[in-house]
Structure 1
Amino acid sequence: MGPEPARMADVVVIGCGAAGLSAAIEAADRGARVIVIESEPSPAGSTRLSAGYAAFCETDLAPGSREELYLDLLEAHHGDHDEALVRLYVDHAAAAYRRLLELGVRFAGTFQFAHMHQAWGHEIAGSGVHGGAELGRLLEIAARERGISIMTRSRARRLLRDEQGRVDTVMVDTPAGTLRFAATRAVVLASGGFTRNLALIRNHGRPGTERILAITGAGSRGDGLIMALALGADTAYLTAGIAPTGPADPATGKGAMLVYSGAVIMNRDGQRFCDESGLYNDISWAALEQPDGLIFQIYDEAIRQAHLGTMLGRVLSGYAEHKADTLEQLLGLLQQAAGLDAEQAQLEIAAYNRAVRRGEDPGFGRRHLVGTAGTPPAIASGPFYGIVTVPGTTHFNGGLKVDVALRVIDVFGEPVAGLYAAGEVTGGFHGAGYLSASHVGMALIFGQLAGQNAAASA
């Protein structure tokens, strides 16, 4: 018997998160037959686990201009990024937002994160399901309504070229064995990052990055990156992009961001080490330099209740809280649990409370809850709470080099024929930094554009 015939499609999309589903929908709406390959049992990948904020401009909720958003991105990226990709993002942000409304996605409001001079972060609305889970659910519905085939438990392992050098086949491990999927127009890589591939992190990351706790989808193994590298693809900001995002509880693997509601953070020695209102990946970078990389988040009942009313509070849950009637008792519990210097911590929090009541923070300059929004309260009304966290990550920021058509570029600066990419598998947009809400935004915007271009590929 000869080899089993290939499953045929015009466009094959690898990955079923925000980028992959967006690409599939756009390609299908341009007349393409689309198959989506997903390694995990359920669609939506890391998107499903995220808060789902997406940074857009020139919308009804965020009327600020694309140039204003660009300047905030430039600041968050520390002035170092792929200029063309960032311009592509801001130029298409409003259209991507309108497209999501057409697909049934609704937004509840906006949020102003660190490095934002305006509230660019659009919050997904939903009843019962929130954030990235709701976004993934709605995009999956839109894909299935278009007859798009979604193959779960199917892991893409190789990309093959035809005699002209065009990528036209994907080899996929499925429960039925290894199958071939043929793409008559193009393949789109939207397979996510490599936060769960320790070998890639050790080979390409800076010292210490192997200690970052991954709180991502199980499929974040770098499959798309590896397959493209085998074809000679180039990379962008790969090492710079291996970075933490926010704190996470190592015991449960759950993200915990009480700092943006007013929690104070300190290291094992009972000392604060950064401005809690800053960008959460900057907080996590600073934490990697602390003893054992521990981040103690300490707060009171008023801060806890305020946090539970936010999208971050609804989506980031399940972490282990320590609770006590008095601050002294709480610090003692944290000392027993993770070695916190309780005596020094008590002095530090007393000094912090005096500072915020005066409206100043001589140690680290904290004057807001997050970015330039909100006023931090004193930690004074029991019961008191603490979480032991470490630097975690919801994504990496570097990956395959792409051009403004989202074509994968090889090491000689030429497009890899028939191969597009979008989402976390790509690099260059975030550059040397990261603006909150722009990662999901980038997946959506670039996913839409990659699908459109793939469908038009000859």
Structure 2
Amino acid sequence: MSHDRSAVPSQVDVVIVGAGITGLAAAAWCAEHQVRAVLLEKQPEIGGTSAMSGGWFAFSGTDEQQRRGIADHDATFVADMLTASGGVADPALLEAYVREQHDAYDWMRGLGLEFDVVKLSSGQSVPRSHHAPIETVLAALLARVEAASTVVLRTGARVVDLIDDGGAVAGVEVELDGGTRQSVHAHGVLLGTGGFTRSPEIIGRYAPRQVDAMPYGGLGNTGDGLRFAAARGAALRDMEYVSGTFGSHPETTIEEHELLTAFYMGAVIVNVEGRRFVDESASYKTLGAECLEQPRQIAFQVFDADVRAQSQPGVPLSDIDALEDKGHVHRADSLRELAEAAGIDAARLERTVHEYNAVVAGDRSDAFGRTGLCNGVGRLVPVAKAPFYAYPAKTLMTSTYCGVAVDAVGRVLTESGAAVPGLYAAGEVVGGFHGKAYVTGTALSKGLIFGRVAASHIALEAAAR
């Protein structure tokens, strides 16, 4: 929904830049607490990358987990995130996330949102990914914002610079549709601008090996927030770990989030030569980087009828039915016929699957160290029951998972650790949280959690002045 006719106030307590889940959550918090705020989105519509996501949120110790008999603990969650990061994530951010998650979870439930699926996915030792239709989530946040008299949402509003007041950030300069410029003064500015998946220049600078990944994410994800913060001396974190996500069909379009993780259900991943090249239970960021090193930068998720039967219609990452209906999944009664249909070396695929099934049977060790379905969890299953399936997939640059350094309340930090006065950031524009790999569901949850935290901290500082 666009809001291009909304008048933009010249003075507020909080300016929020970007109307993805981070900005909407922050604006909703302001709405509930009668805080004067303006939410500025440069695109014609709200949502950004969040609207294109699968709708997964990562929480621990929830009612949904308990009903399914899933034992989970906050300490385990922190440990999983730190492990997935390769040990480089900021523990203060992870601990703040887990500390604040329960309030965020309760708040979402209070908005009438429900989680229909809980599943095990990348970086998790227990099922922790909670699914809610993302369009429903964003609509609930938007409704809370629109009901408030203290919050203005304006689309088609491109922030072009931050206002400086003696070294402190005191608002933004915004360009509205038609070219009109306006100053908006505030006690604090929250950057919820997303990453830079749509900026080949920035990707080329920090992750040249990833420039061939298919670009995805919101069309406005061009690194605006990164540039604004860096110009104010912000430190950058995790830029060296930018990596696309494996599992998207080569014909994936912006209209639909198409990503399949059949490898977490038991599929093997092979290249066009029919060879495996990676431990399929690893993070799909790791898989994405490995896929880019393969011939034609493509790989195939190969699985059998038992994995096909695990399809969950309507559930992102697991909806094989929908992908088959679109003609994106090859199907055959034998591995040789499957290979011929998909363009894979047939003899080598047969040999690869035979060798893999011997691993599953315990007759040999796996050359790539695979011991489980996902993150080392789950019993391996053979690829043995006809019919057989192959899903061609490439590396999709869904998110960049790196950016400006922040503290646990979202204040942007310089390399010395000092806060940049008046400047906050949350969501994908932030670095120091994911490190080398991504735990499924933490991106949306991180934006929602820290968007609310940062907005509340700005409001507290404004009230104290």
TM-score by length of 1: 0.89
* Structure 2 CA distance for aligned equivalents of residues 322 and 187 of structure 1: 49
* Structure 1 CA distance for aligned equivalents of residues 415 and 286 of structure 2: 31
Is 1:95 equivalent to 2:103 in the alignment?
A: yes
The Cα shift of 1:188 comes to 0.7
* Structure 1 CA distance for aligned equivalents of residues 265 and 98 of structure 2: 29
Report what 1:189 is aligned to: 191
Q: How does 1:55-70 map to 2 (within 5 A)?
A: 55-62=58-65, 64-70=72-78
Report what 1:136 is aligned to: 138
Assess if the C-alpha contact under 8 Å between 1:260 and 1:276 holds in 2: yes
Q: Secondary structure at the match of 1:54?
A: strand
The Cα shift of 1:383 comes to 3.8
Assess if the C-alpha contact under 8 Å between 2:9 and 2:38 holds in 1: no
Gap change, CA 1:414 and 1:366, over 3 Å in 2:
closer
Report what 1:223 is aligned to: 224
Q: Secondary structure at the match of 1:308?
A: coil
Report what 2:233 is aligned to: 232
Is 1:445 equivalent to 2:446 in the alignment?
A: no
The Cα shift of 1:325 comes to 4.0
* Structure 1 CA distance for aligned equivalents of residues 143 and 376 of structure 2: 37
* Deviation sequence 1:235-274 (CA, Å, 0-9, x none): 112222x112232222224323222232221112211112
Gap change, CA 1:290 and 1:60, over 3 Å in 2:
same
Q: How does 1:105-120 map to 2 (within 5 A)?
A: 105-120=113-128
* Deviation sequence 1:294-318 (CA, Å, 0-9, x none): 2111223442341234442349956
Gap change, CA 1:50 and 1:361, over 3 Å in 2:
farther
The Cα shift of 1:384 comes to 3.1
* Structure 1 CA distance for aligned equivalents of residues 156 and 205 of structure 2: 28
* Structure 1 CA distance for aligned equivalents of residues 178 and 450 of structure 2: 32
Report what 1:244 is aligned to: 244
Q: Secondary structure at the match of 2:311?
A: helix
Report what 1:75 is aligned to: 83
Q: Secondary structure at the match of 1:187?
A: strand
Q: How does 1:13-412 map to 2 (within 5 A)?
A: 13-62=16-65, 64-124=72-132, 130=133, 132-147=134-149, 148-162=151-165, 164-205=166-207, 207-240=208-241, 242-253=242-253, 254-309=258-313, 310-314=315-319, 320-335=328-343, 340-357=344-361, 362-412=366-416
Assess if the C-alpha contact under 8 Å between 1:89 and 1:442 holds in 2: yes
Q: Secondary structure at the match of 2:300?
A: strand
Q: Secondary structure at the match of 2:461?
A: coil
Report what 1:434 is aligned to: 438
* Deviation sequence 1:329-384 (CA, Å, 0-9, x none): 2211222xxxx322211221233234335597533344443235544443344443
Q: Secondary structure at the match of 1:388?
A: strand
Assess if the C-alpha contact under 8 Å between 1:161 and 1:169 holds in 2: yes
* Structure 1 CA distance for aligned equivalents of residues 364 and 155 of structure 2: 53
Counterpart code for 2:184? A
Gap change, CA 1:118 and 1:300, over 3 Å in 2:
closer
Assess if the C-alpha contact under 8 Å between 2:118 and 2:128 holds in 1: yes
Gap change, CA 1:359 and 1:261, over 3 Å in 2:
farther
Query: Structure 2 stretches of 5 or more lacking a match?
Result: 1-6, 66-70
* Structure 1 CA distance for aligned equivalents of residues 250 and 413 of structure 2: 37
Counterpart code for 1:224? G
Gap change, CA 1:81 and 1:300, over 3 Å in 2:
same
* Structure 2 CA distance for aligned equivalents of residues 72 and 226 of structure 1: 31
* Structure 2 CA distance for aligned equivalents of residues 85 and 47 of structure 1: 21
What CA RMSD, in Å, does the superposition of the two structures yield over aligned residues? 2.5
* Deviation sequence 1:146-205 (CA, Å, 0-9, x none): 34322122222211213x333223222332323324133211100100011011111122
The Cα shift of 1:145 comes to 2.4
* Structure 2 CA distance for aligned equivalents of residues 67 and 312 of structure 1: 27
Report what 1:420 is aligned to: 424
411-420 or 358-367: bigger deviation: 358-367
Gap change, CA 1:145 and 1:5, over 3 Å in 2:
closer
Counterpart code for 2:318? G
Q: What percent of counterpart residues are identical?
A: 31
* Deviation sequence 1:5-54 (CA, Å, 0-9, x none): 96433211111111111111112322212221112222221112222222
TM-score by length of 2: 0.87
33-42 or 58-67: bigger deviation: 58-67
The Cα shift of 1:319 comes to 7.6
Assess if the C-alpha contact under 8 Å between 2:335 and 2:349 holds in 1: no
* Structure 1 CA distance for aligned equivalents of residues 177 and 451 of structure 2: 28
* Structure 2 CA distance for aligned equivalents of residues 446 and 399 of structure 1: 15
Report what 2:4 is aligned to: none
* Deviation sequence 1:93-116 (CA, Å, 0-9, x none): 212211221222222242222432
The Cα shift of 1:282 comes to 1.8
Q: Secondary structure at the match of 1:9?
A: coil
The Cα shift of 1:212 comes to 2.0
